[in-house]
Amino acid sequence: MAESSRVVLVTGGSKGIGRTLAERFRDAGYRVAATYRSGGVPDGVLGLQCDITDQEQVEAAFTAVEAELGPVEILVANAGVTKDTLLMRMSDEDWDTVIDTNLTGTFRVVRRASRPMMRGRFGRIILVSSVVALLGSPGQVNYSSSKAALVGMARSITRELGVRGVTANVIAPGFIETDMTAVLPDDVIADYKKRIPAGRLGVVDDVAAAALFLAGDQAGYVSGAVLPVDGGLGMGH
C-alpha cells in the first residue's frame, strides 16, 4: 500500500497543533480522521466528537473510522489538557483531570489502535508529549508527569509490538506559536526566546513535519525514540 493512502487518526484535532497535524496529513494524501470535544475539524477530515476519557466514546470513534475509511494504521495521540497551579495548591481534581486525559486517555486510544495494527503487521503510534516532560516546569507537576509517562509507554509498546511491524515514538514540542502563546505578554515571549538556542518560538508546521516523518515508511526502523521539536531548549535531557 502506498504510504500516503494510509488511514490516520489524530486525537484533539480541532485546534492548535492537532488541527495542523490533521491538515498536513490530509494535504499529503493520507485518509484522515480527527477527534474533537468541541469546535470542529478541517475540511476533508472525518470529524469524530469524542472524549478520550470515556472508553465507550473511544470505541465508537474507532468503529466509525473503520466503517468510513478502514482500520487506523497511523495514530497521532495529541489530545491533552492543562490544569496549571503550584504543587501546594494543586487539588486531586487538578491532578486527576490532567492524568485522565493526557495519560489514561492516550492509553485507551493506543490500546484500541493496536489491535488492527497487529493484524495488519503495520502501525505507527506517535505520542505528542512536551519539552516539560523531561525539563520540568513550575506549576505543571500534573502536566509534566502525564507527558513524561508517554516515554515509558512508547518504549514498552516498542518492546511488545516491534516484531509486528508497529513503531511507537514520542514527539516533544517546545514553545510553539499557537493561540495560547499569542496572548502572552511580550516580555514573557522575549524570556522564552532567550532560553531557546534557536532564538525563536517554533511553529505548528515544525511539529507536523516531525509527525509526517515518523509516520512514513522511511521511519520504519525508528521506534522508542523521543524527537524534540524545541529549538534546542531541552537538549541533554
Contact partners, residue 109, CB within 8 Å, separation at least 6: 9, 11, 52, 58, 62, 75, 77
Residue 58: CA count within 13 A, CB half-sphere: 19
The active-site residue out of 30, 143, 192, 221 is 143
Contact partners, residue 10, CB within 8 Å, separation at least 6: 18, 21, 22, 25, 32, 33, 34, 35, 76, 78
Say how many C-beta atoms besides its own lie within 10 A of residue 69's C-beta: 18
Reply yes or no on whether 143 is catalytic. yes
The answer to whether the beta carbons of residues 192 and 137 sit under 8 Å apart is no
**Total length of the chain:** 237
Q: Which residues are catalytic?
A: 143
